[in-house]
Amino acid sequence: MLKIFLAEDEYVVREGIKNNIDWAGHGYEFVGEASDGELALPMIQKLKPDIVITDIKMPFMDGLELSRLIKKEFPWMEVIILSGYAEFDYAKEAISIGVAHYLTKPISGDELISQLDELSSKIEANKQERELKEQYAREMAENSLRESAELFRHMALGDKSAGELMQLADKLNMDISAGAYNVVLFKAVSTHHEENEYSGSVVAIYERLSELADKTGALVFDRDIEGKAIVLRADDAEAIKKAEDDALEGIDALMSEYEYVNYYGGMGQAVVRLSELHDAYEKASHAYAHRYMSDESKIFRYEETLKYMDDSDPEDFNISSIAPGETDRSRVMEFLHKGTESETVYYVDEFFAGLGENALHSNMFRQYVATEVYFAVSAFMDERGYDRNEIRAFDMTSGDISDVDSTRRYIIEIIGKAIEIRDSQANNRYSGLIDELKAYIDEHYADEDLSLNVLASHVNFSPNHLSMIFSAQTGETFIKYLTDYRMNKAKELLRCTSKRSVEISVEVGYKDPHYFSYLFKKTQGMTPTQYRSGNMSVEEEDGV
C-alpha cells in the first residue's frame, strides 16, 4: 500500500479528508496528519510517506515551503497541493518545485482518489527504478572495491605507464593526476580485539580517514588486513611537503580521539611523476616495516628510518659490545604474527639497519643473529602448533651465512617460509569462516535487509575485508552469491508449490514483487511465469 500524509490547517477540512475516504479500500494507508508545515516536516522525515497532500496556506510554514523542503530531501516523494487560490503564480511556483498536482478547493473524495490513482503507477515505476539503482550500486560497490585495490597494486608495482594507470582510474571515476605525489601506509589496531578482527572504532577510523582524504584531494585505497594506503597529491614539490605535514597532523588528531586503538604506518619520499609512484611506495614500505622495531604509535617518515643505518668503519665494531638479546627476538616474533609475505624483505632490511652494517661484518655476530632468528621461528612454529620439520631445511648446519648478503637471504627465506605456513593455516581458518557465513545466509536469506554490512557485523570483520575474503574463498562477490541463492530458492518454490510470485518474492527476501521479477528475468533469462510453465499449468501475472 502507498502511504499518504496530510498537512492541512483547517480542522474540518482535515477531518473530512481523513475520515470520509476509504483509504484502505482504495489501496492506500493514511499514516499521519499535521496542522502546519513546521509540525509536518519531522513527521514526514520519520514516516516517509509516498504522497504528501498539503494545503498551500498554513501558519508557521506554508505548503510551498514544505513542498520545497520535501523535494530537496526526498526527491522521490510526490506532493499534491490543495489551494483555495487559482492564481497562476502559485501554480507556476508549485510546478517549478516539482509538485505533482495543484488542485483547487473544494475537492471531492472521488476527485482526490482519482488524482492519487493517477500518481500510483508513476510512484511504483519510480520505486522500481530506485530499487534497481540501489541494487546496481551495491554490486558496483564490491566491484569498485576490487578494481580500486587492483589500481593501487599497479601503482605500487610500477608495472604500468602513467597513461595506463589513468585509464584504469577513469573507469573508477577517479582523478589521479597531480604535480607531485607521496604514499602513506596506515593501519589501526584495536587493543580490545583479536588479530584479524575489527572493532567498531577501527571501522569508524577508516571511514573518517577517507573523509579527511576527500577534503584534501588525497586518495585512499584498501589494503585488506594491512589497513589503508593514502596517495597524497599536490600541485608541485613544495606543496606536497605541506600535504605530508597536514596528513600526519590530521591522523594524529584523529587517533587522539580513540583510547583503545593503536596505529602505525610509513610515509615514503615524494615523487613528481605518476610513473615514479612505486618509488614512493617502496620507501613507504620500508618505513612501514619499521613499526616492528618500535612500540610507538606513529607514522614513520622514510627519512627518520635512515638514522638507524650505521656507516662507520667496520673495524670499529667490537663483538664484546653486543649484549645477548640485542637483536630482540620478540621483534621477530611480532613480525611472524602480524607481517605479510610481501613485507618480509622490507622488514629484514629494517632489522639489519637496526643492527648496524658494521656489526654484520663480524662472522661471529652474523652467526648469533641467524641463530636468534632461527630460534624465534622455531618458537613461533611450536606456539602455533605447526610441524617444525617444515623448517628443517633452514637449520643452522645448512644455512649459508658466509657474508652479509647470504645472511640476509637466509633470514628472508626462513621468515618467509614461516609466514607461508601461517597463511596456509589461516586459509583453512577462512574456509571455516565461509562455512559460518553460508550457514548465516541460509538462515537469513529471506531478510530483505541482509547485506554485506550485516554479515560483517555478525563475524566482527570490516565490510571491505570480508568482501575480499568472501570473493577469494568462493570465487564470487557476496551480492552475486546471495542473489543466486535467492533465485535458486525461488525456482524451487515455483516448481514445487502453487504460491504466487508476490508470495515467493517475500519468502526469498524481496518485498517488491516487480523488482523480484526483474531480477529473476535478468539472472535466469525468463520470467517467473515462463519458468513455472515448464512443468506447471498455473497461470499468473508476474508479481501478482
pLDDT for 375 beyond 60: yes
Owner of C-alpha cell 587492483? 150
pLDDT for 542 beyond 50: no
Question: Residue 68 and residue 452: Cα distance in Å, rounded?
Answer: 35
Domain ranges in the chain?
A: 2-129, 178-300, 309-444, 480-532
Highest mean pLDDT among 198-202, 247-251, 337-341 belongs to: 247-251
- Residue 245 is predicted with a pLDDT of 94
pLDDT for 281 beyond 90: yes
Name which of 187, 151, 154, 156 is nearest 281 in CA terms. Answer: 156
The answer to whether the CB of 15 falls within 8 A of the CB of 40 is: no
Q: Residue length, the chain? A: 544
pLDDT for 306 beyond 50: yes
Q: How far is CA 185 from CA 82, 149, 267, in A?
A: 59, 14, 6
Average the pLDDT over 478-504 and give the result: 92
Highest mean pLDDT among 26-35, 91-100, 132-141, 363-372 belongs to: 26-35
- Residue 100 is predicted with a pLDDT of 77
Task: Note the pLDDT tens digit of each residue in 431-471.
Answer: 788 889 999 999 999 998 888 888 888 887 777 778 878 88
- Residue 136 is predicted with a pLDDT of 64
Q: How many Å is the Cα radius of gyration of the chain?
A: 32
Owner of C-alpha cell 648496524? 356
- Residue 227 is predicted with a pLDDT of 85
The answer to whether the CB of 190 falls within 8 A of the CB of 288 is: no
Going by C-beta distance under 8 Å and a sequence separation of 6 or more, which residues neighbour residue 446?
506, 507, 508, 509
Structure letter (DSSP) for residue 473: H
Name which of 13, 119, 113 is nearest 63 in CA terms. Answer: 13
CA pseudo-torsion sign 254, 259, 260, 266:
positive
> Which is more confidently placed, 271 or 374?
271
Per DSSP, the residues of 80-131 read: EEEES---HHHHHHHHHHT-SEEEESS--HHHHHHHHHHHHHHHHHHHHHHH
Task: Note the pLDDT tens digit of each residue in 163-199.
Answer: 999 999 998 889 999 999 999 999 988 876 444 445 6
Which superfamily does CATH assign the domain made up of 2-129 to? Response regulator (3.40.50.2300)
Question: Residue 208 and residue 251: Cα distance in Å, rounded?
Answer: 10
Q: How far is CA 501 from CA 444, 505, 513, in A?
A: 20, 6, 7
The answer to whether the CB of 23 falls within 8 A of the CB of 113 is: no
Question: Residue 529 and residue 288: Cα distance in Å, rounded?
Answer: 58
Highest mean pLDDT among 117-121, 209-213, 323-327, 421-425 belongs to: 209-213
Name which of 399, 310, 323 is nearest 365 in CA terms. Answer: 323
The chain-wide mean pLDDT, for the chain, equals 83
CATH tag for 178-300 (out of 3.40.50.1100, 3.30.70.270, 3.40.640.10, 3.40.50.170)? 3.30.70.270
Question: Residue 495 and residue 480: Cα distance in Å, rounded?
Answer: 22
> Which is more confidently placed, 268 or 82?
268
Helix (H) or strand (E) holding 141: helix 109-157
Bridge partners, 220 (sequence order): 230
pLDDT for 386 beyond 90: no
Q: How far is CA 18 from CA 15, 102, 533, in A?
A: 5, 19, 45
Q: What 3-state class would DSSP assign to 169?
A: helix
Average the pLDDT over 302-306 and give the result: 84
Single pTM value for the model: 0.56
Name which of 458, 426, 460, 429 is nearest 441 in CA terms. Answer: 458
Question: Residue 176 and residue 168: Cα distance in Å, rounded?
Answer: 10
Structure letter (DSSP) for residue 56: S
Q: What 3-state class would DSSP assign to 214?
A: helix
Question: Residue 347 and residue 341: Cα distance in Å, rounded?
Answer: 10
CATH tag for 480-532 (out of 3.20.19.10, 1.10.10.60, 1.10.274.10, 1.20.950.20)? 1.10.10.60
